[in-house]
Amino acid sequence: EDKVVQSPLSLVVHEGDTVTLNCSYEVTNFRSLLWYKQEKKAPTFLFMLTSSGIEKKSGRLSSILDKKELFSILNITATQTGDSAVYLCALIQGAQKLVFGQGTRLTINP
């Protein structure tokens, strides 16, 4: 059965800290891995990763995929209170369905 496991499930840090969120997976027909940020409403798209070892970057956020070890990380540097959210990792299989992890609830305290 296809599986996406995120860790930690919950993380509380101070503003300015750097955080690393993890996503490991088991999937039979991997196509892409996506990261989303969910605040009070629906998820907003952050990154899509298809190839191993190529870092994607957007401002203070970056992400990389390791297809050999079957995991991805999402880094956020110099965190701000506005980064507080649930971060979701999802896989696209061959059937083009998204399989979501449980999410990491990130809280940034001022």
Distances (CA, A) of 22 to 2, 11, 99: 17, 12, 16
Pairing of strands 10-14, 104-109: parallel
Among 20, 44, 77, 107, binds another protein (CB under 8 A): 44
- Closer of 60 and 97 to another protein (Cβ): 97
Q: Quote the least distance from Cβ 16 to another protein, whole Å.
A: 27
- Number of residues interacting with another protein: please give it, by CB under 8 A: 20
Q: Does 14 bind another protein (CB under 8 A)?
A: no
Residue type, 88: L
Among 87, 103, 106, 108, binds another protein (CB under 8 A): 103
The dihedral region occupied by 70, where left means phi > 0, alpha psi between -120 and 50, and beta the remainder, is left
Q: Does 32 bind another protein (CB under 8 A)?
A: yes
